[in-house]
Copies of this chain bind each other. A is one copy, B any other.
Amino acid sequence: MSGPAIALHGGAGNLELSSDSRFQISTELDRVLKLAVGRLEAGEAALDVVEFVVSLLEEVPLLNAGIGGALNAHGEIELDAAIMCGRRQLAGSAGALRRVRSPIALARRILEESPHVLLVAEGAEAFAQECGLDLVEPGFFETPQARQRWQEATPSDHSNTVGAVARDRAGNLAAATSTGGTTRKHTGRIGDSPIIGAGTYADQHAAISCTGDGECFQRAVSAYDFAARLNYKADSPELAAHAVLEKVHTLGGTGGLIALTNNSRPIALYNTKHMAHATWSEGLDFRIAF
């Protein structure tokens, strides 16, 4: 099977979620998935679809990306995102953003218009401005829920990063991830999400977006490890996904991932209590789950 397919996630986490939160997140994932499916069915490119999906999820206040991003040690919000095109193996990513309304839109501009892969902090915001992207005041992203999580101080809370992987009708793959990082992280901390090979990766054979204890995913180079296991060991996608999370576990972390290969159904796997996710492949799957 190699028709269009997509998976998206709203983050892996271990905090208990109220049934109300689960319902709201499921409703949002369902809405976004249906829009994405429409675009894939219409023949839109995987790269455009994952950017579109993640840009919508960034605007969902319940999720930890864009609006609703986690507050750092100083009670400020610093956002990270990455996108990668499997066909061209081009990537764009940005970290420690305080004023860029859509981090994933900036990552896409970096992919298309910059000679660089990763821009951070004020330099990244200057590039956003050069591109004419929307800048906002830092307070724009703050929600009462994120402020409350910060006050209750759950330092390892990494819930609700968002991401998407897609395969388009031409068989091309793409991956995108966006996050506010961990609550009470040090200022300037960059997790796995915007690091190509750690939290986000795509090539001609695989696309993957991770969520979880970002430092463990960085040390394990998890996203590329998934691709390497497929390409070098001929692991099945399921086996590779299990092995990637097992490695994260041996490094002391938990998390989850969504992935696609050029001929697999969407994969969604996690070793946390939950990972909000939604998957679709033409004629085979349509699923919203925690």
Contacts and interface: CB of A to CB of B under 8 A. Distances in A.
A212 interface: no
Interface string A99-129: 0000000000000001111111111111100
A233 B218 CA distance: 22
B232 A195 contact: no
A151 interface: no
Contacts of A195: 118, 195-197
Contacts of A197: 195, 197-198, 218, 221, 224
A118 to B, nearest CB: 4
A93 to B, nearest CB: 9
A116 B251 contact: no
A189 interface: yes
A225 interface: yes
A43 interface: no
Nearest to A156: B115
8 contacts: A78-B123, A95-B120, A96-B121, A119-B189, A120-B121, A126-B186, A221-B221, A233-B233
